[in-house]
Amino acid sequence: NIGTLNEHTIDSMLLAGKEANKHGIPVILDPVGAGASAFRNDTVRLILDQMRVSVIRGNLSELSFVAGLQTATKGVDVSKDERNNPVEVAQAVANRFHATAAITGAVDVISDGNRTAKIYNGTEKMSHVTGTGCMTTAILGAFHGAAKDSYLAAVTAILTMGIAGQVAWKEAGELGLGSFHIGIINALSKMNADKIKEMAKIEEF
């Protein structure tokens, strides 16, 4: 996660990523704010040039930048970039970097270049809470630790996060965004296969 950048954090990310590559440990990249500044853009390029990345997860603008397309990014939070098709962007990133690309938004799109999925779970209220994207990337890392298939790990992690958001909004949303935020963590802690099977809204092609 490149959210907070300085010389030391960049050096740390490069060292950690290269060491992970040596030991077959998957690297997950969250290119926070990619496209918003030259410093962030150069950092993303540096990471992708110097290590093998298993999954790249971000919003549409961030992954549009990674794909080499024009973006509308204004900062590190979600920005709309309606000029670009998320399926095409995800597939382009996946093929360019031989990785799984995951774009989270109103409809989540995940692709490894051969398989592509759209996920319709979640609630737009999740965009009102800071950090849900970072939480999703962290969960994705945990899932990839349990599954060698990066595409399967990304689909299941993002599906899980979306369902947690739906459950949390139903149970705690009326109390306010603070309770909703904690509710997401509560829902994740109680997540199981039955809940995922019951609530999953996914299209794969």
| The predicted structure's pLDDT at residue 39 | 93
Q: How far apart are CA 66 and CA 90, in angstroms?
A: 10
**What confidence tens digit (pLDDT) does each residue in 169-197 have?**
999 999 999 999 999 999 999 999 999 99
| The predicted structure's pLDDT at residue 80 | 54
Burial class (CB in 10 A: 0-12, 13-18, 19+), 4: exposed
If phi > 0 it is left, if psi is from -120 to 50 it is alpha, else beta; for residue 68 that is left
The pLDDT of residue 7 is above 70:
yes
**What confidence tens digit (pLDDT) does each residue in 88-144 have?**
999 999 999 999 999 999 999 999 999 999 999 999 999 999 999 999 999 999 999
Q: Are 49 and 59 in contact (CB under 8 A)?
A: no
Q: How far apart are CA 148 and CA 14, in angstroms?
A: 22
**What confidence tens digit (pLDDT) does each residue in 11-66 have?**
999 999 999 999 999 999 999 999 999 999 999 999 999 999 999 999 999 999 99
| The predicted structure's pLDDT at residue 72 | 63
The pLDDT of residue 83 is above 80:
no
Task: Tell me the chain's radius of gyration from C-alpha atoms.
Answer: 16
| The predicted structure's pLDDT at residue 43 | 96
